[in-house]
Amino acid sequence: RTKLIASYKTLFGNGSFTCYLLMLIGGLAGIAVFEACSGVLLGAGLGLSSMVVSILFILPIPAAVFGAWFAGRPNKRFSTLMWQSVISCLLAGLMMWIPGLFDVMSVWALLLPAA
């Protein structure tokens, strides 16, 4: 038991591990809040059934796996990956904003740019 506690002290004493753990917790908490809010908006706002909303949350998973691979490529500088991510998010936001500007909001106008 004391060996286990000592191992945890060593693990949580590592600043890099703690930083990554906090980013993981924050990211997953953000995803949970986003899914809850989106579920309400898609269900009540667009009148979609709970089955369709669940499928829409499952569809982007391959894109998330691709994003994880893309971010984890070796020999890429962090600043390069960061700016590529920022530009991708801005483009996706713009692609979601334009249909809303013209009152043509649909599930696909939200889902395709997010993927």
pLDDT at 115: 65
With 0.75 as the threshold, say if the pTM is over it.
no
Average pLDDT score over residue span 40-59:
81
* Mean pLDDT, the chain, whole residue set: 82
- pLDDT score, position 24: 87
Residue count of the chain, please give it.
115
| Band (17; pLDDT cuts 50, 70, 90) | confident
